[in-house]
Structures are given as C-alpha cells and as structure tokens.
Structure 1
C-alpha cells in the first residue's frame, strides 16, 4: 500500500497545480466585471462535451447510463452537492476575495474530509485518523499565518462574503466525491464518474444560469468564454481527473485518503504565485514564507506517516 499511497499523493499534488488556475482565473474574471454565475456554469457547460467525447471514445457510455439508472436520485443529489453547490459557492467567494484568500480558505476541505469520514463510512480504518487531523492542523496553521498580514486590509463584509461560501464548498466537494465513490463502488472508472456527475448536475446549472439570464438579465462577457474554457481544461478535466484517480487509488484507506486531500493545500502556494505573476500582487512577506513552510511540512508528514 505505501507505493500506492505515494503515487496517489503525487497525483493529488499535480491536481492542486491545475486546480490553482481556477482561483486565479476566477479572480481575474471577477475584477473584469463578469458575473460569478457565468464563471461557474460556463465551466461545466464546457466540461460536458469534453467528457462526452472521452467516455464515448473509450466506449463506456452505455455502461455509465446503466449505472445511473440504478439510483438516479442519488446520482442527482450527490452530483449537485459535489459539483453544483461546491463550485457555485467557490466562484461566489472569488467575487469577494483575492485568489490567495479563497484558496487558503478552501483548505478547510482537509479537515472537512476527516470530519465527514465517520458519517459516511460505517466501518474502516478510523483509529489512527487523529494523526491525520494533527498533520492537517499543521497545514491549516501555516495557512492562517500566511494570511495574517493580508486579512487586515479587508472589510468584515468582504471577508465574510469571501469566506463563508468557500467553507460550504469545502464540505460539499469531499462529501459529493466520497458519496459517489460509495454509490458506484468501483463499477465505473474515473472518466465515467465525472461525466455522470456532470450530466446529473446539469439541472442545477440550467436553473442557476436561467435565473441569471432571465431574471438578472446578464449575459457572459466575451472574455469569459475563453477564460472558462481554460478553467474547464485545466481544472475541470486535468485536475479533476488527477484528483479522482488519486482518491480512487486509496478509497478504502482513510489515512491515505486524508493525505491525498491534504495535497490540495499546495493550491495556496500556486495561487499566490499566479496572482504575483498575472495580477502584479505584492511579493510574499515573512508571514507568507513561514506559512508556506508549515504547509510543506504538513504535506510531508501526511506523505510519510505510517
């Protein structure tokens, strides 16, 4: 299992690199005046045909439809949670805070996964989850320290609007992902599971974008089509596939699963670097350097713990 765990952790780390693009690009779209609803829904509209092509090419589409028909209500429920509520909340938060703040708040998903584990799994390896919680705590401490000097410059209103939705997303993503793993139990592959969740989350995205179009009377900015396509490829296809591959590899090992989810803390470093490069943000101060060091230490502890 150690070699499988290390492979899963490497995949998780790579996924965090591509996920980080989401935070930076969403922030760019927000600063350019684009609606967060279109930033969120367009990504999934782009992802749907991409994964249809992938699954159809692999000749797995009929098997996926048969799997969905076994319990379509559960598919719609957990797809809406794991894709819909997750990304809508995350994109909303990006409209009220910089990418580093959204990315750092998102790291609460590390703890959320551990909290949710006993509620989802009726049995399994739980006795040693305390160490996972402690190591995740090191990562979160680093994230808090990293943001100390930055948080002082934001109003309470922006702080709450930027953080609370992201906390909801932090629970929704691991909950939806883990419940779908429990529901399918390895009967379909990662690409099928992603496509199935895309299809079953479409009612949510149709309702959200229809409200924006017919009630709020807004349409996407021209730049949003290109930017959301970039996010769809980097985060929606590459990062999501890598992360799902990683979690599938260790789906029966709660400690390893917690370690894989902890790799997403690297998004903070990648998002901060992206803001400095694309948005000319200030260079990291001493708080950021100390925080990044703790994040790396926490990730290493997760990777090599017994």
Structure 2
C-alpha cells in the first residue's frame, strides 16, 4: 500500500466516525417526534454558510460560479443525486429502524460504487486492476449486511423493513454516483470545498421543494430540538466528514481499486453507530447474528485496505 492510499484510508476512517453521528442524531430526532423532512433540509441549510465562509476566505467563490454557469444542468442533476437522493432517504429510514441497522445497510454503497463505475466511464481511470478482488471483498461486506439484517428483518413487520431498507439502498447508489460524476464534471478544476459548496447550492431546489411540501402538508415547523441537532449533524457530518471523505476519494480518484478501498472504510460506521446508540440512546446490544454480520463487514473492509 503506497503512502497516498494509506492517507486516503485513514481519512476515510475518520470520516466514517464523523458520519456515524448522522445516523445517531437522526434516530434521536425521529424517536423525539421530529419530522424526517426537517432533519434533511436543515442540515443542508446549515452547511451553506459554513462552506461559503471557507470557500470565500480562499477566494474560490467566483471560479466556482463560472464552473456552474458552464455546466448548469450537470451540476443540478448530479448535486441532486449526490446530496438530495442520498440524504433524504437516510433520514426517512431513521423513522423506522435503529441507527446501527441503517448504518449496516448503508454499507451496500461499497458494492454500489463498483457497480456504477463502468457506466461513469472516467477516462484515465484504472478500472480493471484488482477489479475481481475488489468485488470479492465487497461481496464479503454484502454477506455481512445480509447476516446482520436477517434476524431484524424477521422480527419487524414487512412494511417497516421496506421503509427502512429500500430508501437506504437508494441512498447507497446515489452517493457514490453523485460524487464520482461531479469529480468527472469538475475534472480537478475545483478543490474539495468548492465542489461541496457547489453541490449544496445546486441541490437547493430539491431541498426547497421538500421544505414547501412539508409546510403545506403538515403545516408544522421543526421540533424545538431539531435546529440544534441538525446544526451538530451539519458541522460534524456535513462539513468535517464530507470534506474528509471527498478529499480521500480525490487522492485516489485515478485508481478504481483505491476508490473501492476508501468507500469500504465506511463500513466502520456501523460499529461507531452501534456504540453511540447503545451509550447515548440506551439501545440494547444486537444479537450474535448481527455481531457476526458486523465482523464480516469489517473483514471485507480490512481486505480492501490491504489490497489497495
């Protein structure tokens, strides 16, 4: 493993720790009666001033606007996919399943990243090297997810399983697809912070539609604690974790195997989310099946890391 790959994997693990806060706080907001829509939209509204400040201090706002103006439809489409269709389904699922279970299902994003790669067709990318071994290791992670979910799926009503699992699977494809397509669209002309700010800006129509729909249909605003809770998620997950993860993928953007390894680090989220839910929310420990599934998912991540 070269130095760049090691750095990318460590950054990916750090982002996984910070991302796990999303699952825990979203679950906390859900069990407290907060609407999943406000949990989604407030995070991105909070992110906007933070990234405007960061990019503004680096004098990168004008170059970003030029990039968006040159390809507005691509920015709107892939920002909506990468942020909107990623995060809204996760907060929706939090209303139905524990945070560690959502974090476990979310690991399908590792498989999703490999599946979407041939359709993205990025020039100059090492797609074939180690592709079969990456699929094998990702398959181990997928097996772990299935084992982890099996007992829980049997004990829950089918409606809750569908509402908890299907949205997370949508998010699992949307996040790597949106991220990789935006790397292709920008082609190194923007730094990580500019790219994130641009994606937040261009996903705003999606968030405004959700906001309007929630106001019209429920005629209710956020719960009292949601402003502070979504601010916590925005800082730790939206700003710090997203910047770390995007920086990690940028480091290995020319190597499909390296990208798969970085995306595999996100399997650590399930352990962080489990620990957080047990400690902070007083949730019971999962059974042996779930723990065995987590062990398989972690094994797949370790193999990815050693191979990269």
After TM superposition, give the deviation of residue 178 of structure 1 in Å: 0.5
* Bigger Cα displacement from structure 2, 119-128 vs 37-46: 119-128
Q: What are the superposed Cα offsets for residues 150-190 of structure 1, whole Å, 9 maximum, x if unpaired?
A: 33321111000111111111111111000000000000000
Question: 2:158 — aligned with what?
Answer: 156
Matched, 1:180 2:182: yes
Question: 2:294 — aligned with what?
Answer: 292
Q: What are the superposed Cα offsets for residues 101-121 of structure 1, whole Å, 9 maximum, x if unpaired?
A: 211111111111000000001
After TM superposition, give the deviation of residue 56 of structure 1 in Å: 0.6
Matched, 1:207 2:209: yes
| Aligned counterparts, 1:262-301, within 5 A | 262-301=264-303
Question: 1:120 — aligned with what?
Answer: 120
SS in 2 for 1:218: coil
Question: 1:198 — aligned with what?
Answer: 200
In 2, Cα distance between equivalents of 1:254 and 1:291: 26
* 2:41 and 2:211 in contact (8 A); partners too: yes
* Bigger Cα displacement from structure 2, 77-86 vs 121-130: 121-130
In 2, Cα distance between equivalents of 1:295 and 1:203: 36
Pick aligned residue for 1:216 from 204, 218, 236: 218
In 2, Cα distance between equivalents of 1:169 and 1:283: 26
In 1, Cα distance between equivalents of 2:297 and 2:245: 19
Question: 1:20 — aligned with what?
Answer: 20
Pick aligned residue for 1:135 from 134, 137, 148: 137
RMSD: 1.3
Q: Is the alpha carbon distance of 1:54 and 1:122 closer, same or farther for their aligned partners in structure 2, counting shifts above 3 Å?
A: closer
In 1, Cα distance between equivalents of 2:85 and 2:151: 30
Q: TM-score, structure 2 length as denominator?
A: 0.96
* 2:122 and 2:184 in contact (8 A); partners too: no
Q: TM-score, structure 1 length as denominator?
A: 0.97
Q: Is the alpha carbon distance of 1:122 and 1:58 closer, same or farther for their aligned partners in structure 2, counting shifts above 3 Å?
A: closer
In 2, Cα distance between equivalents of 1:89 and 1:289: 25
After TM superposition, give the deviation of residue 122 of structure 1 in Å: 5.1
Q: What are the superposed Cα offsets for residues 50-69 of structure 1, whole Å, 9 maximum, x if unpaired?
A: 11011111111111111111
Matched, 1:189 2:197: no
Gaps of 5+ in 2: none
In 2, Cα distance between equivalents of 1:152 and 1:6: 39
Gaps of 5+ in 1: none
Pick aligned residue for 2:233 from 231, 234, 238: 231
* 2:127 and 2:255 in contact (8 A); partners too: no
* 2:105 and 2:165 in contact (8 A); partners too: yes
